[in-house]
Amino acid sequence: MSDDSPPNVLVVLTDQQRWDTVGAYGNPMELTPTVDAMADEGTLFEQTISPQPLCAPARASIQTGQYATDHGVWKNGIELPDAAHLLGRQFAEAGYDTGYIGKWHLATTGTDPVPPDAQAGYDYWRAADILEFTSHPEEGYVYNDNGERVDFDGYRVDAMTEHARMFLERDRDRPFFCVLSYLEPHHQNDMEAYVAPEGYADRYANPWVPPDLEGVPGDWYESLPDYYGICRRIDECVGDLLETLAGQGVRDDTIVVFTADHGSHFRTRNEEYKRSCHEGSVRVPLVATGPGFADCGRVSELTSLLDLPPTLLDAAGIDPPEEMAGRSLLSLLDDVPDDWRDEVFIQISESALGRALRTDRWTYGVYDPDAAGTNSPASERYRERYLYDLRADPYQRVNLVGHDDYAAVADELRERLADSIATVEGDRPTIEPATHQHF
């Protein structure tokens, strides 16, 4: 590839994968040697936060570069509106061969195929709207771009990887943009269980327990061996894809990104696996290699998944559309801009109607005590619910909200959060101080 040729782009998107499953972020289980090597040779973003820790809203944000209240998918079960600024359409318009494989979750077709006009600009399509309904860990089906059913046997991660490999090996005379969207390590809904490939959970029968989970009621004790086994298999499959790129002679010409839509707190913070402002829910891995990202080390600044779409476009020489709320992360790889953010804004739905700020030191969260999280995308009134000092309490074991000693901190964060809500959503809400302490 000549210096002025646009790069290929491969995005590997996992579902419900915590940042600390990756060795480069400190996991001691040796689950991710492939992604760790990517971090060594490329760029690792240390503090990447999901703008909405829920499957469909987060995935819509990746496709649009917008907050949930802007793209409209503020909870599961809402169709992503078609628009010219969608990531797949942007790459297709720029002449890229586009492919999408795996879990979509942005239509309302359920187990029926997503129609071609709702495939968001992706030409090669091997996906299902709700993949956990069309498949189980060892068998199932997706649909192709014509709506024809494509069955698979064997482990689902392997099957999706094979579909991606076939796309990467296609004859083409133009660059490609491919999103491989695994369902894993998300639990299988109708089984209420995480399911690793045969024999993989046994390797992690005595797992490292993340400190935010240790000693806290939840289902981490029975889930971690399988969860870790799934993460290991995903990493092996990413290695297979890198070998495929090398075999095609395009490894050095391809940007490869590894990330997740949100994390999992294993029902330690609410009755869900996510849907909260805690690190286990909102913090995700983000590792990039290839043109523009080689040998850039670790980036400590706060970043959002909203930054991923404009970053990919920027790296491909495509001007990000003005509808995208994030900023290209390429600007962090030389000198950090003076106006880079010092907070990430988070929207919460379904478990509660909430909002949060994640700064370098603090997590501050609010909710509407009188509203269900499934009935409305926003509120005019919130109440303080969470305040964590990440410097003193990185595992969020002590909730400081309502504590007199932290009233000044809460006052400042309350104003900053209200400002963020007004900037993103257009209306400035009332945020009521907590009336008692929470621990």
Condensed to tens digits (0 to 9), the pLDDT of residues 216-252 reads: 999 999 999 999 999 999 999 999 999 999 999 999 9
Beta strands in 261-353 (DSSP E): 283-284, 286-289, 297-304, 343-348
* pLDDT tens sequence across 107-163: 999 999 999 999 999 999 999 999 999 999 999 999 999 999 999 999 999 999 999
Orientation angle between helical segments 55-64 and 308-315, nearest 10 degrees: 30
> Would you say residue 4 has pLDDT above 80?
no
For the chain, give the percent of residues with pLDDT over 90.
96
Question: Predicted confidence band at 1 (pLDDT cuts at 50, 70, 90)?
Answer: very low
* pLDDT tens sequence across 167-199: 999 999 999 999 999 999 999 988 889 999 999
What is the H or E stretch that residue 363 is in? strand 362-367
Nearest to 342 by CA among 269, 267, 279, 419: 419
> Would you say residue 3 has pLDDT above 90?
no
3-state helix, strand, coil in the chain (%, to 5): 30, 25, 45
Domains of the chain: 8-332 (3.40.720.10), 352-432 (3.30.1120.10)
The full DSSP string for 49-89 is E-SS-SHHHHHHHHHHSS-HHHHS--STT-PPPP-TTSHHH
Q: Exposed, middle or buried: residue 271 (CB in 10 Å: 0-12, 13-18, 19+)?
A: exposed
Q: What is the pLDDT of residue 378?
A: 97
300 vs 295: CA distance, rounded Å: 15
260 vs 387: CA distance, rounded Å: 25
* 149 bridge partner residues: 143
Tokens of 85: 């600024």
The amino acid at residue 290 is G
- Predicted TM-score (pTM) of the model is 0.97
173 vs 8: CA distance, rounded Å: 12
Q: What is the pLDDT of residue 190?
A: 87
Q: What is the pLDDT of residue 435?
A: 81
To the nearest 10°, the Cα dihedral for 102, 103, 107, 113?
40
What's the mean per-residue pLDDT of the chain? Answer: 96
Tokens of 365: 């969260």
Q: What is the pLDDT of residue 335?
A: 83
